[in-house]
Chain A
Amino acid sequence: MTETAMKETAVTQAPMSQTPASETPAIFAWPARVLHWTMAALILAMLFVGVGMVASVAERHQWLLALHKPLGIAILALAIVRLAVRLRHPPPPLPADLPRLQRAAALASHWLLYALMIAMPLIGWAMLSAGGYPVMLGSDLRLPAIVPENAFVFAWLRAAHGVLAYLLSLTILAHLGAALYHGLIRRDGVLDAMLGRVRGGAPRRERE
């Protein structure tokens, strides 16, 4: 913890310096940024698809449902890659002067986002398996069942899928608000780190 704090202090004291990316990166590594923005689009689309499909009896219910499943599996695959990237490339440290509560909220919400990105598709997949449905990603592409047919298990997983979807939506709203707070009010480089630019300068050319 002490070492991290020292690194953070070093970064905040010299935010413009080109410190080696492997040491104390000022911005997120490019794979992390690409994954973040790709998944931001996919997950936002997914939440709208999900909430729209359960609220519709029109024909869009069918194509939204057909889209929901492959999109969920794509998010699951990307989330696993992203977790690996996250463990391989430590993210830039939070500003040293960030209040403790905000720091805790930032850490907790990010791990919650990771947990939900991975859990939601798995719960959906398990739920369809428990309900006895073939898990079709297309007209002729079927995933195997990951839990045995059991209506009780289906019911609990179905409830969890809905509740966690709302939790994910609220967490994303908070994430959006916090990112804009960092970018517009604090202007502390946190948003810039994901946008891929060193604050106040041109887009940074980095060596990966």
Chain B
Amino acid sequence: MPDSPASLRPAEIGWRWAAIAAAVAVLGTAFAYVGGWLTPGRLTAGRLVDELQRNGGLHPGYRRNHAKGVCVAGYFEGSGKASAYSIASVFAPGRTPVIGRFAVPGGNPYAPDSSVPIRSLALRFDLPDGQQWRTGMNSMPVFPVATPDAFYAQMVANERDPATGKPDPAKLAAFFDAHPETGPFRAWAKTAKPSASFVTETYYGLNAFRFVDARGGRHAVRWRVVPDAADAVPAAAGDEDYLVRDLQQRLAAGPQRWHLWVTLAQPGDPTNDATRAWPPDRPEIDAGTLVLEREQPQDDGACRDVNYDPTVLPAGIAPSDDPLLAARSAAYADSYRRRTSEEAGVPGYAKPGQEKRP
């Protein structure tokens, strides 16, 4: 070798080694920083899901939120009326198959149906070209908070006090004081009663989205599904799982229907704040009819392995600037990773034990 290390002075070799070490360390540190290891206070999907798990308990194999649910299937019949605003084929006249899931919020799959006044409906529309539209809707018109950080703070305030087994009222009060944006949700919750049926509820998409029309024009929208059935009766006392029984009875009698109503925003309506409803005079489109025909237990039904990530959208629907959407996507993905890994027996995950699906 004509240019051997011997021609370098020892001090120079030292400096060169230091430069090499520095280059590797800088790259490694940058990587660790972006990965969040140097900022443990940063809100991540993992921390959100850990907190859900703390409040709902660890139930391997189940969703970390809306753990108690039932699979449904049917189709959506587009009316064609929304096609002027979105090129998504689901809105054109014709049928799109739907795999859905009714659920009760919370991380405990054994919670009584009456434990919360909210029900949810998640849908996956399977478009003919292989694209999908996934949406997770709740039976309340607004979300309590507008940001992922506030959602995390709400869960922390909701942690059960080990002494009483219930959330600490002082912590909850402090949270609500610090978050006046929860006002509209709390006003709704004051009068909300746990419905005796999944089928008689209206389910709201909560977040704003954008429809994209054939000329590339974008329209801020929200959507909800409004039931044809309106004959809910108060839940029978003593039955903790009345919702699924009611659903079975109603589907045995015939398909259940909802209309998908799309609300068009006017300039100035908030698209980044799910705590604020839009004014009631906004134009609305009856985009089509959701028809649910069958139900299956979630333990082996078609909805079991579906992550109802609301950012899985077909061409013609796009996310808005609502900051909750990214957090929902990230947290749902983490929940999906955990529960599928538990079922598959991937090392490092909890084992489905006594709670294993029958």
Chain A residues with a Cβ under 8 A of chain B:
12, 15, 47-48, 51-52, 54-62, 65, 95, 97, 131-134, 136, 139-140, 142, 144, 149-152, 154-156, 158-159, 169, 172-173, 176-177, 180-181, 184-188, 199-200
Contact = CB atoms under 8 A, between A and B. Distances in A.
Interface residues of B, number: 55
A139 B315 contact: yes
User: Residue among B19, B20, B148, B327 with the most chain A CB within 10 A?
Assistant: B20
Identify the 3 closest CB pairs spanning chains A and B, nearest first: A55-B36, A140-B315, A155-B344
Given A59-B326, A61-B327, 8 more contacts: A55-B36, A57-B45, A58-B326, A62-B325, A133-B312, A136-B131, A140-B315, A173-B28
B330 interface: yes
Contacts of A150: 305
B36 to A, nearest CB: 4
Contacts, number: 136
Contacts of B307: 131-133
Interface of B: 1-5, 13, 16-17, 19-21, 23-24, 27-28, 30-31, 34-36, 42-45, 48, 129-132, 148, 212, 304-307, 311-312, 315, 318-319, 321, 323, 325-327, 329-331, 336-337, 340-341, 343-344, 346
Contacts of A52: 34-35
Chain B facing A: main interface SS: helix
A132 B16 contact: no
A185 to B, nearest CB: 6
Contact of B20 (A15, A61, A181): A181
Nearest to A54: B45
B315 A65 contact: no
Contact of A184 (B4, B19, B45): B19
B310 to A, nearest CB: 11
Contacts of B330: 54, 56-57, 61
A176 B26 CA distance: 11
B272 to A, nearest CB: 10
Contacts of A140: 131, 315
A187 B131 CA distance: 54
A64 to B, nearest CB: 10
A159 B341 contact: yes
Contact of A177 (B3, B20, B48, B129): B20
Contacts of A57: 43-45, 48, 148, 326-327, 330-331
22 contacts: A15-B2, A48-B34, A51-B31, A51-B35, A54-B330, A55-B34, A57-B44, A57-B48, A57-B330, A61-B327, A61-B329, A61-B330, A132-B306, A133-B132, A134-B312, A152-B340, A155-B337, A158-B341, A159-B341, A180-B24, A184-B19, A187-B3
